[in-house]
Amino acid sequence: MTANTSALVLALTLTLCGAWPTDALAQEPSTASSVVQFFVHSDPPDMTMPWQTDGASLYGGSGVIIDGNRILTNAHVVEYAVGIEVKRADASERFSARVTFISHDADLALVEVEDSRFFQGTRPIPLGQMPKLEQGVQVWGFPEGGQTLSITSGIVSRIEVDSYLQSGRRLLSTQIDAAINSGNSGGPVIGGEAIVGIAMQALEEAENVGYMVPAPVIRHFLEDVEDGHYDGFPRLGVRLQNMESEPQRVAAGMRSGQTGALVMRVDYGGPAYGTLRPRDVLLAIDGHAIANDLTVASPLIGRVHYSMIYQSRQIGERVAVSLLRNGQRLTKTIELRAHTPLVPGRRTTELPRYLVFAGLVFQPLSADYFDYFRRPPPNLVSVPWNHGVTKERREVIVLQRVLPDPVNRGYQNWEDEVVRLVNGVVPRDMTHLAQIIDRAQGRWLRVLMEDGHLITLDRAAARAATERVLESYGIADDRYLGSDPRPPRKRRKRRR
């Protein structure tokens, strides 16, 4: 070795040891250090017997560490959790965790770990922007089939407003062609060095067609909970019809080249109630013109469903709307308030509401109720899902089942019947139903179903039999109404 060569070797050695010490390289947190494996013991309610639960089961999932020592994952990974443990991809120790905020609408949740050791040697992964079509992405997580970290690659193949399985809510969604399997849920989808989405669901009928919650929806959720309270994603409380028919446009008084959407329905008490009317033509929201096919132009996405415009805003904000009413152009504002549709999607992980009277089990219809059954109950298939909240009805009340007792003989095989009237009164919601029954007078209590079937009970005998039914079936309380000021008593599980 010559002197010059020796000097070069020494210089390289000093450079490597000085500028890039091996210790520093070893300590530099990797992306894997911020990918989290979930072990969740979940005990969901039994929707057929809402006073008890199904029993705990262990589920797996994925998540990612973001700023503020928070873990971001899917709502469906941690819903109904009675115990949560998490483990980093680069470590072996499990740590206890708990949910701090959950959004069933967007299928997102924030989880915290009190033990600060969990976050030592990690770096939070920043939240990026909305990915573009054909952009390359990587899905990180812990799918079934192994215990170690899995990374799959693909591209963004579609961006649109689509239904989220967790809630049935239509929000901005991104389709990717990377494999997403059971256990991937909640894991980060990374583009470049940032999170561009959270893996949430896959299309079973196709290969490598997965969906993620995109960055704008994640950012909305994170900004929402900054005040310590989750408000949700706004609704207008309207139902619109496209205006692709030229006669429809002419009859509505629209000029040539003018586009918009016909207002079919305005929910009673909803954000647009009192501002929009049926037969109005909604032309624009916050300056974004609505096309005749119910889409708007987005510079980052292209054409997308009009609902994305107001869903990107927070509850409490206002949006400006332009409309035609009887041929006259008007501009108005709508305050985006919380609004629940007649048949809601998943709302919270609270215990399901119910009322038991004389063995008749009443519940409100919701996505939770439907999702419990592999096939929708035949009697509920024709329920008017698209009907809105009215002054008379804010929920659809269902006779879920009848617990057999001599007092209800003749009705014991009835189930999944929509209730129309109780003693001639439309029950607005579960609390109103309880009031009708509790305050009923006269000899008879009559419950008329939507299909015309009628239950007639001797009111005094039915009231006397209720306690007997509760004792026979191991039910601790005849009701849980959610907003009821009386907290439900501790519930006993019935041996099955």
Residues annotated catalytic, as ranges: 76, 107, 185
Distance of CA 267 to the CA centre of its chain: 21
Read off the DSSP letter of residue 293. T
Task: Decide: 229 and 316 in contact? Cβ < 8 Å.
Answer: no
Task: Decide: 352 and 46 in contact? Cβ < 8 Å.
Answer: no
Dist CA 39 CA 86 (whole Å):
6
Q: Count CB atoms within 10 A of the CB of residue 309.
A: 19
Dist CA 232 CA 217 (whole Å):
11
CA-nearest of 314, 167, 309, 312 to 231 is 314
Which tokens go with 377? 């109950």
- Taking the CA atoms of 94, 99, 104 and 109 in sequence, report the sign of the dihedral they define: negative
CA-nearest of 164, 160, 140, 142 to 151 is 140
Residue linked to tokens 């109950």? 377
Dist CA 256 CA 121 (whole Å):
63
Task: Decide: 190 and 244 in contact? Cβ < 8 Å.
Answer: no
Which tokens go with 357? 């009277």
Q: Count CB atoms within 10 A of the CB of residue 362.
A: 24
Helix and strand numbers, DSSP H then E, in the chain = 9, 27
CA distance readout (Å), 89 to 18, 70, 85, 169: 30, 16, 13, 32
H-type helices in 20-108, by residue range?
Answer: 22-27, 75-78
SS3 of residue 8 by DSSP: helix
Residues β-bridged to residue 85: 39, 96
164-192 per-residue burial string, b: 16 or more CB within 10 A, e: under 16: bebbbbbbbbbbbbbbbbebbbbbbbbbe
Please enumerate in sequence order all residues whose Cβ is within 8 A of that of 325, keeping only pairs 6 or more positions apart, or say none.
Answer: 277, 279, 280, 281
